[in-house]
Amino acid sequence: MGVTTRSRPDVHTAAELIDESLDAGHVCSIVGRCTVAYDGRTQSTLPAGERLVVCKPDGTLLVHHAAGHKPVNWQPPGGTHDITLIDGELHLQSRRDAPDERVEIRFTDLRQVSAYALEEDHDRDVTGSEDDLRQRILEQPTLVEEGFQPRMTERETSAGPVDIYGVDANGTPVIVECKRRRVGPDAVGQLARYVAAAEREYTTKTVRGILIAPSITDRAERELTQHELKWVALDPIHSV
Amino acid sequence: MGVTTRSRPDVHTAAELIDESLDAGHVCSIVGRCTVAYDGRTQSTLPAGERLVVCKPDGTLLVHHAAGHKPVNWQPPGGTHDITLIDGELHLQSRRDAPDERVEIRFTDLRQVSAYALEEDHDRDVTGSEDDLRQRILEQPTLVEEGFQPRMTERETSAGPVDIYGVDANGTPVIVECKRRRVGPDAVGQLARYVAAAEREYTTKTVRGILIAPSITDRAERELTQHELKWVALDPIHSV
DNA sequence: GCCTAGGTCCCGTAC
DNA sequence: GTACGGGGCCTAGGC
């Protein structure tokens, strides 16, 4: 319904509110001064500073500071939060397995603690993804080139699954790799891997590779040439 | 110092608090029911739902729902926030250039608006990064193989910069690619690109490629074999 | 559980 | 500004 908020709470009040809220499946926001230590896939420490900490009931932990999109420290969903009081300080520890990792936050000053239920949410509906680009090609294969015929999507090679497998006007196998945005050398490497694997595995001697993307960097274009691959300019959003 | 909070504010109170706080360089948290529309690199819409919205003075916008690490909608830093009242509704629009994109949030219900100053923050200190792995190798090159001598880091090839360039016991050029975690086929493709470029560009006929990583997938190992590359198991964290 | 690749990836750094 | 690769990337979809 509403939001439960404690301004400058003492540690006991804060601990109780956070504990009960997380148990109830609510989200908690904590504004205060804290240190953060992470141990898991790497190790990191963060000196005392003022931050916004968000705990979600699914185990997600976010530590945000004044700037930037990314949390300065975090825990992905799947773990558990634990609140403890040690030497009169509020400690929040978030642990998860696989990988085994933990974040420990020690608050030296609590400016505000809030808790609120957020109902389950819908997914967002996106247009302009790589999948939309693939769909465009399947509906209008000549956008790739005259005579191109798609035969399969996600066809497996020993190097991985190819976006679109098909044949050209001569019946030569073609591997199409789609990218929704400007591509660099990595995308060319990906396509080259698929083509090389297909040439080893398909009965045909030659396999062509075509990269679909709105634009391409100079270096990527040079790499394309080296591998005798082709680039076709195409946008995920249909431009009329 | 503290946190300014309005519980169930009317739209005018909310608009004023958000406007003034962002102007003052403070962070705002808004809990409420809203729809979100994004237009930029892609387009997306999100139906009405209960969310936590965070606005930072650097232009960052985060829309979080009850679950998950990633915001359900967002704006990276660099843009500007704008608050407007339209038909008695609070609208928050975040715009930025390069790329040109905007997020528009329409609140149908405001449960809480908070604002607070967060002082500038330090960066976090991390150990266990790829750079640590590279450092380990430079200090103890025999970890790569007996007789390996590093000569240069970030040496440029037409395919991109290589992590470590050196020579083996026979004086043959060696390109070393370091990964801090288990690698898949993409890392092999990256190394293969560098080796191929080096073979074209260096005066020597043969260039060897060695992948350094704690572990490797089956498919990546097969790709390695195909390209006559080598993998050496090594962890970024020094194990005693 | 692991593997594979996409992402409005974000981000730093070098050019 | 662009470009390139790292990231505790996260996340979805297969197997």
CA proximity to A172, closest of A138, A144, A206, A137: A206
pLDDT of residue B239: 63
The answer to the question of residue B60 being in a domain is yes
Count helices and strands (H / E) in chain B. Answer: 4, 14
The answer to the question of residue A124 being in a domain is no
Are both B91 and B135 inside the same structural domain? no
Looking at residue B90, its amino acid is: L
Is any atom of strand D within 7 angstroms of residue A41's beta carbon? yes
The answer to the question of residue B121 being in a domain is no
* CATH for B62: 2.70.180.20
Point out which residues pair with A231 in neighbouring strands: A211
Is A47 within 8 Å of B219 when comparing Cβ atoms?
Answer: no
Is B42 within 8 Å of A236 when comparing Cβ atoms?
Answer: yes
Are both B112 and B135 inside the same structural domain? no
The answer to the question of residue A21 being in a domain is yes
Are both B168 and B85 inside the same structural domain? no
Give tens-digit pLDDT for A58-102: 999 999 999 999 999 999 999 999 999 999 999 999 999 999 999
Residue B214 neighbours by CB distance under 10 Å: 15
Q: Please, what sign has the CA dihedral across residues B48, B63, B33, A78?
A: positive
The answer to the question of residue A122 being in a domain is no
pLDDT tens series, chain B, 240 aa = 689 999 999 999 999 999 999 999 999 999 999 999 999 999 999 999 999 999 999 999 999 999 999 999 999 999 999 999 999 999 999 999 999 999 999 999 999 999 999 998 888 889 999 999 999 999 999 999 999 999 999 999 999 999 999 999 999 999 999 999 999 999 999 999 999 999 998 877 799 999 999 999 999 999 999 999 999 999 988 764
Are both A137 and A204 inside the same structural domain? yes
Evaluate whether B15 touches B28 at the Cβ level (below 8 Å): no
Are both A111 and A12 inside the same structural domain? yes
* CATH for A160: 3.40.1350.10
Is B56 within 8 Å of A68 when comparing Cβ atoms?
Answer: yes
B127: three-class secondary structure by DSSP = strand
What is the helix, strand, coil percentage profile of chain A, to 5? Answer: 20, 45, 35
Looking at residue B1, its amino acid is: M
The answer to the question of residue B125 being in a domain is no
Are both B93 and B17 inside the same structural domain? yes
Last residue in a domain, options A57, A87, A116 = A116
Q: How far is the CA of B157 from the C1' of C14 (A)?
A: 14
Residue B222 neighbours by CB distance under 10 Å: 15
Is any atom of strand C within 7 angstroms of residue A180's beta carbon? yes
Are both A102 and A149 inside the same structural domain? no
- Is residue A57 within 8 angstroms of chain B, CB to CB? yes
- Is residue A56 within 8 angstroms of chain B, CB to CB? yes
Q: Over 80: is that where the pLDDT of A1 sits?
A: no
Point out which residues pair with A83 in neighbouring strands: A92
Are both B13 and B92 inside the same structural domain? yes
Is B121 within 8 Å of A29 when comparing Cβ atoms?
Answer: no
- Is residue A73 within 8 angstroms of chain B, CB to CB? yes
Are both A191 and A223 inside the same structural domain? yes
Residues lying close to strand D (Cβ under 7 A), chosen from 86-125 of chain A, are: 101, 103
Last residue in a domain, options A116, A147, A182 = A116
Q: List chain B residues with CB under 8 Å of A27.
A: 52, 64, 66
pLDDT of residue B204: 78
Looking at residue A123, its amino acid is: D
Residues lying close to strand C (Cβ under 7 A), chosen from 57-76 of chain B, are: 73-76
Evaluate whether B65 touches B72 at the Cβ level (below 8 Å): yes
How many structural domains comprise chain A? 2
Give me B185's structure tokens. 């086929």
The answer to the question of residue B238 being in a domain is no
* Residue from A7, A21, A64, A131 to probe the interface with B (highest B Cβ count within 10 Å): A64
Q: Which domain holds residue B96?
A: 3-116
The answer to the question of residue A12 being in a domain is yes
pLDDT of residue A203: 79
B186: three-class secondary structure by DSSP = helix
Evaluate whether B184 touches B220 at the Cβ level (below 8 Å): yes
Evaluate whether A149 touches A180 at the Cβ level (below 8 Å): no
Is A160 within 8 Å of B44 when comparing Cβ atoms?
Answer: no
Give tens-digit pLDDT for A23-51: 999 999 999 999 999 999 999 999 999 99
How many residues appear in chain A?
240
Q: What is the pLDDT confidence band of residue A239, given thresholds at 50, 70 and 90?
A: low
Stated as kind and residue range, the H or E segment containing A176 is strand A173-178
**Alpha carbon distance B168, B149 (integer Å):** 6
**Beta-strand relationship, A230-233 and A208-213:** parallel
Are both B92 and B136 inside the same structural domain? no
The burial of B236, by beta-carbon neighbours within 10 Å (0-12 exposed, 13-18 middle, 19 or more buried), is given as buried
| E strand spans, B69-222 | 73-75, 80-86, 89-96, 101-116, 125-127, 149-157, 160-167, 173-178, 208-213
- Is residue B239 within 8 angstroms of chain A, CB to CB? no
